[in-house]
Amino acid sequence: MHLSLTQTTIATQTYWLGQTANGLAFVGRANGPKDEWRDFFPAATATVEPNANQAAQAVLRDFLTGKTLRFDAPLDDTVGTAFQRQVWAILRTIPYGQQVSYQQVALQLNRPTAVRAVAHAIARNPCLIATPCHRVVRQDGTLGGYRGGLPMKRALLALEARTIKTRTSLPE
């Protein structure tokens, strides 16, 4: 596998994006290290291509500034196991501004005892934000973990709440 890597800065945060011929395969955490992608693609090669991933950069920028509610870019999740891909597919169905529990994801998979496996699959999600694992919380409503760190998870959830509130309070 080969990744085309691009660094993009949105507001004060820098993100690394990695794309294959099939689509966006990696979104790094805010201000994360340049080689964070290696945790997910240890056998891959990569080149930094400053002008690559323009569409994904635009979608990420629009998402993080509240201009769009969907991360609408082709994704390449072929790196995951079949179970991980099932979990990631469910994450992409969670509506913007809403949260579900790890237990609810396990129930959607018809595997109610697989909560820990679901949490592990979510932790292995290489496409932060694009596959919205930040919308998954513990059963009691507390945040749980997040590869990007809890401050980033809080910020994403707050952004979504503000955007929903702003859009629903606009006059028609």
Residue positions annotated with a catalytic role: 133
Can you tell me the distance from the alpha carbon of 92 to that of 133, in angstroms, rounded to the nearest whole number? Answer: 8
Are 43 and 32 in contact, with CB atoms under 8 Å apart? no
Are 37 and 46 in contact, with CB atoms under 8 Å apart? yes
Closest alpha carbon to 44 in 126, 122, 128, 121: 126
Can you tell me the distance from the alpha carbon of 63 to that of 155, in angstroms, rounded to the nearest whole number? Answer: 13
Can you tell me the distance from the alpha carbon of 58 to that of 97, in angstroms, rounded to the nearest whole number? Answer: 20
Can you tell me the distance from the alpha carbon of 96 to that of 82, in angstroms, rounded to the nearest whole number? Answer: 25
Cβ neighbors of 45 (< 8 A, separation 6 or more) are 1, 2, 3
Assigned token pair, 128: 């932060």
